[in-house]
Amino acid sequence: MTRRLLLSFVALLPRLRAAQQVVRGRLRQDPSLPPAITLRDGAVVVLEADAATAGVLRDARLKDDDFEAQGRFAAPRRFVVDPIHLRALFVHRAGRRLVVTYWCAVCAVRAWTPGPCQCCQDEMALDPRDPALKDTDPSN
């Protein structure tokens, strides 16, 4: 029985290592430094991300938010954020955890990274929203 439990645990180890982790704090948005999160204790965790995710991490509209990123620690002070398509970036506002999205009210287009609307080319508005909503739901 003990051996069976040990073998089951060993089989789960790769999945446990790959388990998603979270880092939460305030975004550091110094253009001369890589994106980072300053934790509540003052420690700084450098964030590594794909280009689309890096665009969100550099969005000045998020600088004062309680920010959360999902991914994994590559080292104690280095965090690799999950790719943009996994929707791993959140803000915490008024006790609610909201996924970071961008919205064009003119074209009803939602995006996951800042920039111009792919249709009208107007700058998209930051639109954090409940992660349970479908991508096509109108903005709340």
What is the per-residue pLDDT across 4-21, written as a single tens digit (0 to 9) for each?
544 454 454 454 445 789
Evaluated on CA atoms 46, 76, 66, 116, the torsion sign reads positive
Share of the chain above pLDDT 70, in %: 83
Whether residue 27 is contained in a domain is answered as yes
Whether residue 112 is contained in a domain is answered as yes
Whether residue 68 is contained in a domain is answered as yes
Whether residue 106 is contained in a domain is answered as yes
Region class of 94: left (phi > 0), else alpha (psi between -120 and 50), else beta: left
Please give the residue range of the domain that contains residue 47: 20-126
Mean pLDDT of the chain: 87
Whether residue 132 is contained in a domain is answered as no
Rounded to two decimals, the pTM is 0.81
Whether residue 26 is contained in a domain is answered as yes
How many domains is the chain built from? 1
